[in-house]
Amino acid sequence: MLLPVDSLKLRAMKFMTLAPLKFFILVRLVTALPPLNSLEAEENGKRLFLENCAECHQADGQGMADVYPALDNNEVVTGSGIDVALVLIIGRGEMPSFSGSMSAEDMAAVINYIRNAWSNSGELIFAEAIESLQ
């Protein structure tokens, strides 16, 4: 279909004025999504917990009475992330040290998981802070 020149001009003008708006909406959509690697770290933390910790502390974080402390609603867990990192690095009582078997990144992921799983809520800790302890 042939369009009169004026109508083509009008279309072009409409496109030009809407382009920045479309770009703005796209940017807003992309930045509103949580960063992919933080989602990955969360998944990784849960997997690491189930593989390395749940046999004692249980998947629901409730532990076993008089044997393994509950990590849910536990002040040590939600207190300082550094203290939790030290428990993992040094080990405690019957709990083995994980410094030989887990990277600082994996430790950060599992610590961030237990600090924010179940009813817990705690600030995130980063691998750099854990590296500086070892």
Q: Which parts of this chain interact with ligand HEC (CB under 6 A)?
A: 52-53, 55-57, 68-69, 71, 74, 76-77, 84, 87-88, 92-95, 98, 110, 114
Q: Give the three-state DSSP class for 56.
A: helix
For 81, other C-beta atoms within 10 Å of its C-beta total 21
* Alpha-carbon gap, residue 60 to 73, rounded angstroms: 11
Q: Cβ of residue 90: shortest distance to ligand HEC, in angstroms?
A: 11
Q: Cβ of residue 61: shortest distance to ligand HEC, in angstroms?
A: 10
Q: Which is nearer to ligand HEC, 17 or 119 (CB)?
A: 119
Q: Which is nearer to ligand HEC, 8 or 76 (CB)?
A: 76
* Alpha-carbon gap, residue 16 to 128, rounded angstroms: 47
- Tell the burial category of 42 from Cβ atoms under 10 Å away from its Cβ (0-12, 13-18, 19+): middle
Q: Which is nearer to ligand HEC, 7 or 103 (CB)?
A: 103
